[in-house]
Amino acid sequence: MRRSMLGRLAVAACSLSLLTGFAPAAVAQADGGGHDRSYKKVGYFTQWGVYGRDFQVQDLEANGSAGKLTHINYAFGNVSPQGRCFTGNVPGEADAWADYVRPLDAANSVDGVADTGEQPLAGNFNQLRELKAEHPGLKVLISLGGWSWSTHFSDAALTPASRKAFVESCIDLYIKGNLPQDGARGGAGAAAGVFDGIDLDWEWPGSAGDTDTTYRPEDKQNFTALVKEFRTQLDAYARSQKKKTKYELSAFVPTAPAKIDAGFDVRRIMRDLDFVTLQGYDFHVSGEPRTAQQSALRARGDFSVDGTVDAWLRRGAPANKLVMGMPFYGQGWTGVSGGGDGMGQPATGPAPATWAAGYEDYKALKKLADSGTYTIHRDRRGGHAWLFDGTTLWTYDDPQVLRAKTGYIREHGLGGAMFWSLDADSADGELMTAVDRGLRGR
């Protein structure tokens, strides 16, 4: 954003407030390179991470990440076969226990006070509310869908009536906070104020996603209409509450040009979305027969972050609404043969790992890197790194890679950075700190 444009932007922002009824955010100052300094730092908090990984909301305060984030995306909210947002205690489909029923003791609570049996809101939702009280500028969005829970998105978006009912149900459950009663927990307005908006993580409109996910050719136009319906209803509810700022609306979007073209009318959806988070990882995965980069900044003739950004810009997306996705995990192969540094070589299968074969948190990969048994390799031109011990290879992002990526964000005037997922960072929030410092130019 050029300094000479700031005056005109301020006038435009005031005009926009008259049209929408919302007060504009203060016009951000520009940094020395001419780019907006108010970058978004969006981290996904996983509902299930509170179990095996024992990563609680309070850990974001303990490791210093909470004060560096601008947004937390809570993963995930599900869509029912009837095309409604819902919650409950349904194994594999919904986890109200983690969301708002589970009591936390004082040691695991943001405010240091144990939950009681009588309070209507407990669990992650209450902890997120407490975290926002400590960090008033922090926003929390409910992320709907994800790879496993995009099953019924196409049905929910199919008709004007289904879209209207779907959006109404999501606003009622998450924005108005009208939770199902579960003993003393839940009830009308129990979660009001926890969520500041909605993130659409439909994987993918118009093209294949998970094995049971429905998709149709008309998903592209229906997704556009769904985004419009969310924008319209969120704005209407904000005005009814005399809210000074609007509820935010974002979407997670793919890297492959074929998937972009099949499901996304880029110019139209970007009018109603506050920002999109770009898939900046899983360019290659451990199920493939050869090792490969999963998150390179640049890669000639292959998927890359730079290629993803370019694909969205070419289709009309504003640069300042593009938020770069970064992995806080690695993809790994074992049985790697062919010698050399291991990259691009045949492998026998996914590498053994803590939670799922071929997928490992950064905090575990950092220990491997520090163990002396693995060598760190870097493609400095491509902007990616990997670990290799002669048999097993892990491709991942470390602080040095993230510094290059945040430099790219600043150089190209992008909207910020997103990370999957916060529970995979080191105990001292090393990756979050690297992103924060990088976006500050430090």
Catalytic residues: 203
Compute the distance between CA of residue 119 and CA of residue 364 in angstroms, rounded to an integer.
37
Instruction: Output the CA torsion 12→16→22→28 (10° steps).
Output: -20
Residues in a beta bridge with 196: none
The Cα–Cα gap between 100 and 120 comes to: 8
- The gap from C-alpha 386 to its chain's centroid, in whole angstroms, comes to 23
- In order, the DSSP letters of 142-196 are EEEETTTT-TTHHHHTSSHHHHHHHHHHHIIIIIS--EEEETTEEETTTTTTT--
Residues paired with 94 in a beta bridge:
90
Taking the C-alpha atoms of residue 324 and residue 331, their distance in angstroms, rounded to an integer, is 19
Q: Locate 230 and state its tokens.
A: 């969310």
CA distance 383 to 409: 13
How many helices (H) does the chain have, and how many strands (E)?
13, 19
Q: What is the DSSP string of 310-350?
A: HHHHHTT--GGGEEEEEESEEEEEES--S-TTSTT-B-SEE
Bond prior to 295 in cis (omega within 30° of 0): no
Contact in structure between 224 and 269 (CB atoms under 8 Å): yes
